[in-house]
Amino acid sequence: MSNESALENSRPLNFIEQIITDDLESGKTQRVVTRFPPEPNGYLHIGHAKSICLNFGLAQRFGGECNLRFDDTNPAKEDQEYIDSIRRDVEWLGFKIGEPASPNVFFASSYFDKLYDWAITLIKEGKAYVCGLSPDEAREYRGTLTAPGKNSPFRDRSVEENLTEFEKMRDGVYDEGACVLRAKIDMAAGNINLRDPILYRIRKQSHHQTGDKWCIYPTYDYAHGQEDAIEGVTHSICTLEFADHRPLYDWLIENLPVPSQPTQYEFARLELNYTVTSKRKLKQLVDENYVDAWDDPRMPTISGMRRRGYSAASLRNFCELIGVTKSASTVDVGMLEYAVRDDLNANAPRAMCVLSPLKIVITNFAEQTAESSLMVTQPMHPNKPEMGERKIPFTSEIYIDRADFTEDTTLSRKKFKRLVSGEYVRLRGASVIKAESVEKDENGEIVTVNCTLVPDTIGSNPPEGIKPRGVIHWVSAQNCVDCEVRLYDRLFNDEAPDAGGKNFLDCINPDSLVIVSGAKAEASLSSAEIGTAYQFEREGYFTLDSRYSTDGKFVFNRTIGLKDNWANKVKD
């Protein structure tokens, strides 16, 4: 991450970094503590990646600490699976958590006893009450953006009555929805979040951390500021939708005996076009089998992007590229794809894979080479000799891509730089060959192209008068890896799939996945590892799939193409 750090240190400070710098210089803050507080009710997505990089990145930059805190205040939607996936994602992005020397993994549920005690404090001070309005009645009493609310008929209960009623709530006397605990603030406040907000509600469900100890659970608005204070968070960084909640955050901090005084700041969340990031909608895609799972390579989840072959560095670079501002805007997904392509171009080892194999028989191979096969050497990366080399078997029978051969001799060299009947082409890293004749099946489809090899052209130019049309990739027919290739593309073909009242499901791209069977990869890919992305020369960037690949079965996912062709698809 040294190059990334250099990049960060060379750019101007964003507004949050400036605030922290000022706080440190003034002495307001001695040690920076941030937090990333996901709710474990789904897998993390690209928007969370921005928040992770921001919060953990700030802690790194200023020599502080970032806490991973699971906001597990709603057991109805939460699951251990999501907790495990969140931990994996944060660590995969490059941020260490839970080390013995700095145990920075927390659960909101760990504070339930303290939060309950502080709720009792509010009741005793006449600042909270148990309200028995139904949900519909509560909405009616709340008022609107232009009209004030009105007091609940339960608002003036005595302290003793509220303590008794709250205890009944905790003891399970009341059914879900029968009553809630509300803060007593101001039903005429211009900010609706201050109109006696709910602090506790009844949920008679077992909790993944606390079991059946509780049947009442704090709301996020009540819990998260106090959790920040308990953990000593100095800068509580939220997205813009929480700006209207900040007065309540501050009111609770001011009215409770919390051990520290955190401050909330807001930044613009990440919005990508051609993308849906609502957890509810992502869950619907999974539950209704529009995708394989939360980690489907078409999903904008971190686990999906990891399975697709995106590198952690590319996501960090993307988050750095888009910056941190207060202005809400939609980022072109092309910027994400650029960051991925840029990173893979610089770091992915090269290999050759033929997606639509056409057999080539080199009829004079043994005559010209005096061998049944040769080993040709190619660099793992053309610009990084330190990555080493790979040996590729070159044999008398090879495969090229079907699209790389034509019998149409009228095509100009400029239009078709591949193999043409009666003409020459160079095989990547190997010899120049000439197409002599073809063999066809009963349907008239070409099954074999018979070629001759131009001698002494491995690493050397052919004799004068022989001019290859271009260079094509290939694999040995006798020494190759049979594989399946999954060509992934954007999941949605609409720039704003969930805007303007559209049903986002109607915007799914029918070509978001094309499965290619019978592909042939060079032999070196028999040792391909999950998590390593490869550039398949002339095809794109690919990685071994973590779900469908098994011993003896190779399934490669296309991470991204070599070039951005989406604009052309839209025009077509």
The structure tokens listed for 26 are 């003034």
Q: Check 170, 195, 279, 469 and give the catalytic one.
A: 279
DSSP line for 190-236:
SSGGGSS-EEEEE--S-BTTTBTS-SEEE-HHHHHHHHHHHHT-SEE
d(CA 108, CA 306): 28
- Write down the H helix ranges in 332-470: 333-347, 365-369
d(CA 360, CA 399): 6
**269 is a catalytic site residue:** yes
d(CA 71, CA 529): 35
CA distances, 390 to each of 259, 351, 355, 393, 466 (Å): 60, 9, 21, 10, 28
Is 49 annotated among the ligand-binding residues? yes
SS3 36: strand
The answer to whether residues 544 and 529 touch, using CB atoms and an 8 Å cutoff, is yes
DSSP line for 534-545:
EEETTTEEEEE-
Q: Check 39, 91, 397, 495 and give the catalytic one.
A: 39
Is 40 annotated among the ligand-binding residues? yes
Burial class of residue 265 in the structure, from the number of CB atoms within 10 Å of its CB (0-12 exposed, 13-18 middle, 19+ buried): middle
The structure tokens listed for 339 are 């960051």
Is 41 annotated among the ligand-binding residues? yes
Is 98 annotated among the ligand-binding residues? no
Is 114 annotated among the ligand-binding residues? no
What's the DSSP call for residue 162? H
Q: Check 168, 269, 283, 417 and give the catalytic one.
A: 269
**558 is a catalytic site residue:** no
Is 239 annotated among the ligand-binding residues? yes
Is 300 annotated among the ligand-binding residues? no
Using the Cα atoms of residue 296, residue 302, residue 305 and residue 309 in order, give the sign of their dihedral. Answer: negative
Is 445 annotated among the ligand-binding residues? no
Is 71 annotated among the ligand-binding residues? yes
Residue 410's CB: how many other CB atoms inside 10 A? 8
Is 473 annotated among the ligand-binding residues? no
Is 424 annotated among the ligand-binding residues? no
**390 is a catalytic site residue:** no
Which residues are within 8 A (CB) of 173 and not within 5 positions of it... i.e. 6 or more apart? Answer: none
Is 48 annotated among the ligand-binding residues? yes
Q: Which residues line the annotated binding site for ATP?
A: 39-41, 45-51, 239, 269-270
Q: Which residues line the annotated binding site?
A: 39-41, 45-51, 71, 220, 239, 269-270
Q: Which residues line the annotated binding site for L-glutamine?
A: 71, 220
Residues identified as active-site: 39, 269, 279
